């Protein structure tokens, strides 16, 4: 499996110790402060905005896949990221979905993709992003992730948006 595109976008606010620990682990997993990896086409640039829902969705997916890709499957970090970024009521629904489908509900798969992209879909009442997961065999999975703009918590992950589209 290959390395994934990484995003940045930290929030500067007073954090509880638990949140600070999650953010520190997230920063380490994303390699914040490190230079971007060079590619055949030259240096790559990734950007984000502080407090922006779209950036938070991209940050979550990058950190979550890094945690899941770790040799020990980064289970503690993956769980902490889910608890931090996903609305607690939706997290219960996500766990039910996982029990039914026997797959990771964030990725809708049993494995970790080789690469990914996040595209801003935007909506009037909540933030929505399209996630495309690219697999080593050339296949891809498209997901839609919805986030509450006020709480900055993920409220839906599926093949269609929360509104069914």
The first and second tokens of residue 139, run together, are 């296949």
pLDDT bin (cut points 50, 70, 90) of residue 40 is low
**pLDDT tens digits, one per residue of 104-143:** 999 999 999 999 999 998 877 899 999 999 999 999 999 9
Spatial distance between the Cα atoms of 126 and 149, rounded to a whole number of angstroms: 5
What's the token pair of residue 24? 């520190």
Residue with tokens 């919805």: 146
Claim: this prediction has a pTM higher than 0.85: no
Residue 73 confidence class, pLDDT cut points 50, 70, 90: low
**Distance from the first to the final alpha carbon of the chain:** 31
Q: CA separation (Å) from 97 to 13, 14, 103?
A: 33, 34, 8
Low-confidence winner among 26-30, 51-55, 151-155 (lowest mean pLDDT): 26-30
Contact, 144 vs 160, CB < 8 A?
yes
pLDDT of residue 128: 93
Whether residue 123 contacts residue 149, with contact meaning beta carbons closer than 8 Å, is answered with no
Q: Which residues pair with 39 in a beta bridge?
A: 42
Tokens of 150: 């006020």
Q: Looking at residue 101, what DSSP letter applies?
A: H
Residue closest to 79 by CA, chosen among 53, 99, 105, 52:
105
């Amino acid at each position: 499996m290959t390395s994934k595109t990484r995003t940045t976008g930290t929030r500067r606010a007073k954090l509880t110790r638990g949140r600070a620990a999650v953010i520190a682990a997230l920063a380490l997993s994303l390699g914040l402060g490190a230079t971007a990896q060079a590619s055949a086409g030259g240096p790559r640039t990734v950007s984000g905005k502080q407090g922006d829902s779209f950036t938070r969705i991209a940050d979550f997916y990058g950190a979550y896949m890094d945690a899941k890709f770790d040799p020990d499957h980064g289970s503690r970090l993956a769980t902490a990221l889910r608890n931090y970024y996903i609305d607690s009521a939706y997290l219960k629904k996500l766990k039910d979905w996982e029990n039914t489908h026997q797959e990771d509900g964030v990725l809708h798969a049993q494995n970790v993709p080789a690469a990914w992209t996040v595209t801003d879909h935007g909506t009037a009442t909540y933030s929505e992003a399209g996630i495309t997961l690219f697999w080593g065999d050339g296949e891809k999975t498209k997901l839609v992730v919805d986030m509450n703009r006020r709480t900055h918590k993920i409220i839906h992950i599926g093949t269609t948006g929360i509104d069914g589209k």
